[in-house]
Structure 1
Amino acid sequence: MRIIFTILFCAGFIGNSACSQQHIDFNVRFSELYATYDFMMKISDNYPDNELKTIFEQSAYNTASNREGLRHFEQLPIDYAYAFPQFPKTMKTGLMSRDILERNLVLSDSVPAFLNRSIGILPANDLMIFAQLLQQFIPVYRSLILLPYKDKFALQQQSLQAYADKGILADFLTLGLAFYNTKWDPAVPFEICVQPAMEADHLGARAFLNIAVCEPPVGLKDHKSFFSVAMHEIYHIVYDNQSLEVKQNIKGWFAATNSPNRQYALLLLNEVLATALGNAYVMDSLNGTIKEDDWYANKYITAMAKEIYPVLKTYIRDKQPIDEAFIRKYVAIYDRQFPNWTKELDHLMTYRYVITDDQQDLNYINKTYRYYSYKRSGVPFSIAEADRVRQEPVTKVFIISRNHKEILAALRQQYTVLQKHAFNYKKEFIHVSILEDQTRLMIINRHASSTATLMNNWFPGKVLP
């Protein structure tokens, strides 16, 4: 199923001085290949319980062969990465092989077409296994999810098409490009991949490259909410594609505030702007009001988006791009309204790099702090990787469960702030430092206790002292 609609906008907002009729295609589609891949991830053992997993486990497809296929799928090495080192850290999303594979799934109509697009992204044998597993589970997804709900889903897509034909996305994209000061080549379409979600209260979405994946419930009737979520994801893409100059300016404007909270405020910016624009401004424009549940389901993002929203509306009204004055107001709001956020682990762990020798430590962190905007990890513990982490302006967590003396000594050499502390490597402790980039460094030195026990004892209520 594929639905395509076109929007027109003033080319002046993408770097030309004259307003001419150029267009960007928004391709609204359902991809059975991507939906099957997503289905496989969500019914695998390592994924939290959900409705899809329940449907699969209670079906005739819950066979030894399919369970073995899922285990093989989980273990398949498909994650390779490269960064854009010229950009400020965390402000430009590094490209993952998984992103390219997922994009190819969205754009391909068959497994052979996907293979043809994806050759060379993975080693040939791994790509072949990936394709074989995908082929194995297509009839499972088709039988359990797609066919039983095809009528509702078709009706939903028809309604979405009718809503899209009103043409309002043109205005929302234009104002986003103007505010973010982002250029976009009209030859590159935005791909909105829609797939049904089984949970009635679920309206999930994610963005990567030029793809926005949106998961409305099969019976969704509120298409305004759907498009606000879609625009939220598109604004993430617009933010990510700001030029190097714009990114460097934003980084410099945050640094110039000299706020002790400036780095975590910067890390929060992407989601705050996407929420204020996509969830609030879009819904306000469509409904004339913003309901409480129109905002983001995260207290930090919602609170900051609500506070900056009046400032943002002024910039949109005046067609003014993001500038130093906007950033200064944004940081001032963070400092004045939310000075204790940098003591709350739910906030600090949203942007984290965890290194440990024990996979169970990582499982605990991921389970306890499920929401994240930036998440990296290293298992087993590597001194070389611990040194590389210094360049990442995010929360750094080192969990030491062996070679305590040697690792602590190495960390003290790598991080100047630790050299004034005399650690007793024989004792269990948690130490937190504030680094020069204003991020937190956490050392968890454990022997007999689990990481969970130490964290609960040291930080009751998940708050730093």
Structure 2
Amino acid sequence: MKSLFLLPLLLLTIFVSGQKPTLKIKYSEQLAVFVFIQNLSENHPENVFKTSFQKSKYNTEEYKNKIAKFDKLAIDYSYQFEEFPYGSKVPMQARDILKKNLIETDNLNDFKLRSIGIVPNKTLNDLAAFISDFTPIYNELIYNPNREKFEKHVIDITEYANDHQIEEYFQTGLSFYNSSWDQSVPFQIAFYPLPDSDYFTAQAFCNNFVSAIQTNLKDYKNLFSVMMHEIFHIIYNEQSLEMKMEIDQAFKENKSKSSNYAYQLLNELLATTLGNGYVYEKLAGKLDHNDWYYHEYINLMARKIYPLVKEYIAEKKPMDKNFIDSYIKLYETNFPNWINELDNIMTYRYVISENENDFNTINQLFSYRSSAEYETPITEKNIEKMQKTPLTKIIIVSKNNIEKLKLIRRQFKELVNWKFNSDQDFTYKILLADKSQLIIVNTKKKDLKTLIQSIK
């Protein structure tokens, strides 16, 4: 088995373990080329794929025009699962379904047959044509020079997964989240090479985990803890509607003023605690002393909740109302001021403004975001849409100030006695009944950045 490698598809089954989830590892040339073209876009930051392409003989107007056309393909359709509580289930993303189909088919004709109806046929045909055009380029510049090291990694990763029974952690997640998985559906793990890099990438969607791995990768503990982190997001996403409703109700019934923002943190927090905490400790024999997550709030809270999560896993108990109440208490006791810290509450935001450029300013000030929605202009209808979400609510007034401020006051019962001077620059913050923060910014002379930074 170790000496057999076939292009364009390298497929190794990690394990098939009775009634337990089946995980498979493979190399998908189609997906790798898709990602390669994405990385060549002018809108993409500098990366090893772009550098290699720009130095090559293929860096011509012909191929640059194809890259530009690829970048404009309309493949980002989505829809919400409206019956689920807000934010508890990831919307369907057409791009993810297309990537799933690239992984799970052996040629572009099968990919097109599988993907008809997801996007318009012309878009689908153009996408397949671009992948076909860039496949020999990708193989010449990226895959073939790194083939030997990459394929050795695939074997080593497969052996590591078998030796450490990685499927057991999938089962641990199913039990803890009280979620389910059809055991006849394998979880596909697709790797592709990332040369001249000191990091790997990770993403999960549907029944797929995708990772670009550096050619000098040596530490599989980190790779598999991050892989399981991403898979735990999928398991959380696949909780039943009944379980989602129970979780939502438990957070809403809790009396703590921190319960809403604790809820917003939950998905990323649990994936970090389970993947970067529990799985890593099991693989390494000790906890990782480095940050478990690059966002301070998730990293700190994951360490606080870790003993509670381990207790539930040890007792084979699924998360329940008692777990949620204990989590909220830990959140409020250890970090009582987090509900006022902008770097935390702006992670989950709904912004309404008269000026779309304000959205760019907000994004620059708070680049990390988990949930973000933007609307213009300030109208009764848009405010009502905002009020249906548990997100931090930011309304930026810059035109017809007195009229807009009066409208805002009418729409929020908490503002019935609010007094303001529409001719002055100001910010106003208040915790609403749904335990989300409302921030009103009135701009006259000062710029938005200055006003936002003045909020206490």
Mark yes or no: TM-score above 0.5: yes
Q: What is the alpha-carbon distance in structure 1 between the residues aligned to residue 141 and residue 448 of structure 2? A: 40
Q: What is the alpha-carbon distance in structure 2 between the residues aligned to residue 272 and residue 340 of structure 1? A: 18
Match for residue 186 of structure 2 among 179, 186, 189: 189
Does residue 284 of structure 1 match 2:293? Answer: no
Q: 1:343 to 1:82 in 2, by over 3 A?
A: same
Does residue 90 of structure 1 match 2:99? Answer: no
Q: What is the alpha-carbon distance in structure 2 between the residues aligned to residue 158 and residue 373 of structure 1? A: 35
Does residue 207 of structure 1 match 2:216? Answer: no
Give a deviation string over 1:309-365, Cα, whole Å, max 9, x none.
111111111111112221111111110111122222222222223344655433343
Q: 1:259 to 1:61 in 2, by over 3 A?
A: farther
Q: Which moved more, 1:273-282 or 1:364-373?
A: 364-373
Q: 1:417 to 1:230 in 2, by over 3 A?
A: same
Q: Which residue of 2 aligns with 1:18?
A: none
Q: Which residue of 1 aligns with 2:238?
A: 241
Q: Deviation of residue 408 (structure 1)?
A: 4.3
Match for residue 117 of structure 2 among 112, 116, 120: 120
Match for residue 13 of structure 2 among 4, 7, 23: 4
Paired amino acid for 1:369? F
Q: 1:382 to 1:69 in 2, by over 3 A?
A: farther
Q: What is the alpha-carbon distance in structure 2 between the residues aligned to residue 136 and residue 364 of structure 1? A: 39
Q: What is the alpha-carbon distance in structure 2 between the residues aligned to residue 387 and residue 117 of structure 1? A: 40
Does residue 371 of structure 1 match 2:380? Answer: no
Structure 1: which 5+ runs fail to align?
9-20, 459-463
Kept after mapping to 1: 8 A contact 2:146/2:195:
no
Give a deviation string over 1:117-155, Cα, whole Å, max 9, x none.
111112233333333333343344333322222222111
Q: What is the alpha-carbon distance in structure 1 between the residues aligned to residue 237 and residue 423 of structure 2? A: 45
Kept after mapping to 1: 8 A contact 2:48/2:195:
yes
Match for residue 331 of structure 2 among 331, 334, 342: 334
Kept after mapping to 2: 8 A contact 1:283/1:294:
no
Match for residue 260 of structure 2 among 259, 263, 271: 263
Does residue 141 of structure 1 match 2:138? Answer: yes
Q: Which moved more, 1:421-430 or 1:144-153?
A: 421-430
The correspondence of residues 30-179 of structure 1 with structure 2, limited to 5 A, is: 30-166=27-163, 168-179=165-176
Secondary structure (helix, strand or coil) at the match of 1:312 reads helix
The correspondence of residues 349-388 of structure 1 with structure 2, limited to 5 A, is: 349-356=346-353, 358=355, 360-378=357-375, 384-388=381-385
Q: Which moved more, 1:375-384 or 1:234-243?
A: 375-384
Kept after mapping to 1: 8 A contact 2:198/2:214:
yes
Kept after mapping to 1: 8 A contact 2:20/2:167:
no
* Alignment TM-score, normalising by the size of structure 2: 0.88
Q: What is the alpha-carbon distance in structure 1 between the residues aligned to residue 337 and residue 238 of structure 2? A: 32
Q: 1:359 to 1:104 in 2, by over 3 A?
A: farther
Q: 1:417 to 1:157 in 2, by over 3 A?
A: same
Kept after mapping to 1: 8 A contact 2:77/2:93:
yes
Identity %: 38
Q: What is the alpha-carbon distance in structure 2 between the residues aligned to residue 351 and residue 455 of structure 1? A: 16
Secondary structure (helix, strand or coil) at the match of 1:93 reads coil
* Alignment TM-score, normalising by the size of structure 1: 0.87
Q: Deviation of residue 427 (structure 1)?
A: 4.6
Kept after mapping to 1: 8 A contact 2:380/2:411:
no
Give a deviation string over 1:157-186, Cα, whole Å, max 9, x none.
111111122251232122211111112111
Structure 2: which 5+ runs fail to align?
1-9
Q: 1:410 to 1:197 in 2, by over 3 A?
A: farther
Kept after mapping to 2: 8 A contact 1:349/1:395:
yes
Kept after mapping to 2: 8 A contact 1:193/1:212:
yes
Q: Which moved more, 1:320-329 or 1:56-65?
A: 56-65
Q: 1:67 to 1:368 in 2, by over 3 A?
A: farther
Secondary structure (helix, strand or coil) at the match of 1:29 reads strand
Q: How many aligned positions are there? A: 447
Q: Which residue of 2 aligns with 1:325?
A: 322
Secondary structure (helix, strand or coil) at the match of 2:290 reads helix
Q: Deviation of residue 286 (structure 1)?
A: 1.8
Q: Which residue of 1 aligns with 2:430?
A: 433
